[in-house]
Structure 1
Amino acid sequence: MPRPSPFIEDQTPLDANNLNERTVYAIGDLDALLTQNKTNLVAAINENLESIYALPNKWNATFYLDPISGSDDNPGTGDAPFLTVEKAIESIPPGGIGTIYLKAATTCLINKNIALRGRRIKLAKWGTGDNPIVTTTVSEGTDTVVLNYIGVDGGHINFDKVDLLLPEYDGDKPAHSTYNSLLIPRYNSYGAVGISFHYNKIILNRDFKLINGFNYGGGYDFLVSQFWGTEIVVNSANARLLQAHYSPTALYFGAITITDNTDSNISLPDLIDGISRNSDGTPRNVLANVSL
């Protein structure tokens, strides 16, 4: 099976007559998305893929980031890299496109909430050594803990040979029901959103989520998320890869592995939650493990 495009160029559309090589996890409004026939469902996904992967002609930036010796007063070049992820992202104008290279074998900490605002951004490995790691900080509230996050309000963010770590937290407070994840697709004026992961590791801890598509101001228009060559490490049975809400979502998985460090025999559908449930407790807006 060929690897999908690593970023936004030449994204191959789905073909309703030849989908044997892909497993699609489709999440969304049953009436609007999941009850459609195969051809209509594929057409809806492809229509939104065009929006997500279209190249804007506004900006094409390249920045470098070293969380150890960089400085946000630097210009973000290889010789004078930035220090933080937020500075690198915010140096690309909303709606623009850019690549941010993270120094290998380092850990990049999200210290504040960041809004993508329609940017198309690729986070990639810079140099030799282990993949760089992107993680976030935990803040204690009165009753819960919250995570700083990247708000994917339009555009696309791709993690290519960049690992993601949901933080370890040994306190007793549960995660906030909404602000419990590293990536939050949310309502925006930029249209559909995309999040993709290639040749990396995702480490899930505690009751945190990697992606939480909560209904922020009405929900995102359409989310397409792609996992390719990814190892998912599950250290808690309460952790989730995705918590979905009403807005339509299509998930693509290829060449992934799951390392389950719990006693729960975790499988991929176990890592996907739908917020809307039937009377028997099963997710109403999640159709999992559907081979179209």
Structure 2
Amino acid sequence: MPTIDPLSRFRDRLSLPLIAAPMFLVSGVELVVAACRNGVIGSFPTVNCRSPEQLDEWLSEIESRLRRHSDETGKPAAPVCANLIVHRSNARLEQDLQVLLRHKPEMVITSVGSPAPVLKPLHDAGAIVLADVASIRHAERAVAAGADGLVLLTAGAGGQTGWLNPFVFVRAVRAFFDGPLVLAGGISDGHALRAAQALGCDLAYMGTKFIATRESMADSRYKDMLVASSADDILLTTAFTGLQTNMLRPSIEAAGLDPDDLPARGAIDIGKDIDIGARENRPKRWKDIWSGGHSTSGVTEVLSVDEMIARTVAEYRAADLRLR
């Protein structure tokens, strides 16, 4: 373990060692607030906001509502965690960064590139910076750049995903890094969350199950499709983003496409809704064709965030007792 635990400042504010994963077009104010007031780190991609001005509005509203919750309950909420896309295609990166700095974030996750360009200003503002990585080589680079912790994207994570087995990935990274690790991929309940800790992780992402909550911004048809689907309905493809991405086969079929006969590789254009074909009336990724992780098998109904986290807490406690 590290001499100084970067997460120690807010561990006592967590009901679970869990992050509600940042999901494009899904994570918004309602989902983040509900997660945080239930003791789960609430995260969202800054590109979910239409502009830096709206990002400022979102953060202000989230902070105000969580302060009110803390005043009413006497219990501090879990941290809010913004997700910055650091890929060069994100034209808003510098503007969004400046907005975050004004709000003094406790934690920030960087995605799709090296965290190096944003580390110093975020550290100066007091933030813990986690970098998401999909390979051992990228993990080594993020640690060398100075990231405080790593989000390990493993096989089974929804959306743009990793390809390594989580057991192998976590243990390989633990061989050279003793800072915070977050496991992303396949966390469908409290038992899986406890297993992630036993493996050597400090926290885990839960994404797909949070899509199917009343507070998420996802289309109701998307939520119902997750309930009706299982891990067998997840397709790993590069057709829609150019990167390995886990998508729901039923949504591909509903869009009039054949999941078994897709283009080999799509255009990489992070954070935008791009037409799959040349015509404007073709279905768009994320809005018409939806992602999901292997944990889709754990989605059995649409719940409120309160209900979903309460169930996860009970499962986590049961798993903990079983291991003793």
Whose helix fraction is larger, Structure 1's or Structure 2's?
A: 2
Same-fold status (TM-score > 0.5) = no
Relative to the length of structure 2, the TM-score reads: 0.26
